[in-house]
Amino acid sequence: MKLGFVGLGIMGGSMAYNALQGGHEMVVHDLRREAATPHLEAGATWADTPRQVAEASDIVFTSLPGPTEVEAVALGEDGLGQGLSEGKVYFDLSTNSPSSIRRIHQTLSTRGIHVLDAPVSGGPRGARTRNLAVWVGGDREVYERCKTVLDSIGDKVYYVGPIGCGAIAKLVHNCTGYVVQCALAEVFTMGVKAGVEPMALWQAVRRGAQGRRGTFEGLAEHLLPGKFDPPDFALRLARKDVDLAVAVGREYDVPMRLANLALQELTEALNRGWGDRDSRAAMLLQEERANVEVRVPEDILQRALEDERSA
């Protein structure tokens, strides 16, 4: 099976090299030919255009900056679409928009070309060491057929759902991280300005309940199964704690934008009469606004958690 790879930047270069080390033939292309030097030295061949990559490959990967570049490479002049033929497979590893990859899929699938989105998470170090999550959206049968190739790129390859679902999972993951990052910056500036030495503060909060838990663990305990009674920690107490933190911010002139938003959410939930429910019941407000329910049957959730622990 011959692989093609377009985009040999910080992430793509390492992923392509790992795939090449997995014993696959490979043809590569990048805007900068020098980016392909280690791949060519390891046995890959060069193509002058994405079209030539597609013509010479069974499976093609792209790793590009964003939707504009992906659409240009996939559908533009001398692009992949002009070289791909029926039965060939195209994986986009970029962080792309769901609507963009769905447009590409719609255009190319009419000719029998398989398009899947497969964004990755793990950063440059993960790309080098193959410690990468790979979230795949598209035809499941094609995914299963190509999984051994994907395994040469990342150690946690996971099928998410139909086309575009991989991109959505990546955006949920990354957006969560940056929102949490902003919140941490907010509360740590409050804590340090209020008089706690930064290292001591960091070590203290790492020993608390939030410091010991993964970001998404609370979802499995409350929102996903829809369990808010009896409470692990009552909403009225959570609202009191956030109110106290915001008050410290006011005392020391520290802007607390995100904490104030959280306080508003908890106050609205309190006014719904949910004070003695679990504090995570406030998440129901967002479900109402979005007009969607986020639920997983408890038996399915428990099996997934057991699989995660045994992996």
State pLDDT tens for residues 177-232: 999 999 999 999 999 999 999 999 999 999 998 888 888 888 899 999 999 999 99
Question: So what's the architecture of 216-310 in CATH?
Answer: Orthogonal Bundle (1.10)
Beta bridge partners of 120: 134
Amino acid at 285: L
96: left (phi over 0), alpha (psi -120 to 50) or beta: beta
Domain extents for the chain?
A: 2-169, 216-310
Residues 6+ apart with CB under 8 A from 64: 6, 7, 12, 70, 73, 92, 94
pLDDT at 54: 98
Record the pTM: 0.92
pLDDT at 282: 96
**Can you list the residues of the chain whose pLDDT is less than 70?**
311
**Phi, psi of 156, deg, nearest 5:** -130, 75
Q: Is 147 one of the catalytic residues?
A: no
φ and ψ of 293, to 5 deg:
-110, 130
Confidence at residue 16, expressed as pLDDT on a 0 to 100 scale: 98
Instruction: Choose the catalytic residue: 156, 170, 193, 240.
Output: 170
CA atoms within 13 A on the CB side of 145: 15
* CATH superfamily to which 2-169 belongs: NAD(P)-binding Rossmann-like Domain (3.40.50.720)
**Residue 311: its pLDDT value, please?**
67
Question: What integer pLDDT is reported at residue 310 of this predicted model?
Answer: 77
| Phi and psi at residue 6, to the nearest 5° | -120, 120
pLDDT, tens digit (0-9, with 9 covering 90-100), for 208-222? 988 888 888 888 999
Dmax (CA) of the chain: 67
* Mean of all residue pLDDT scores within the chain: 96
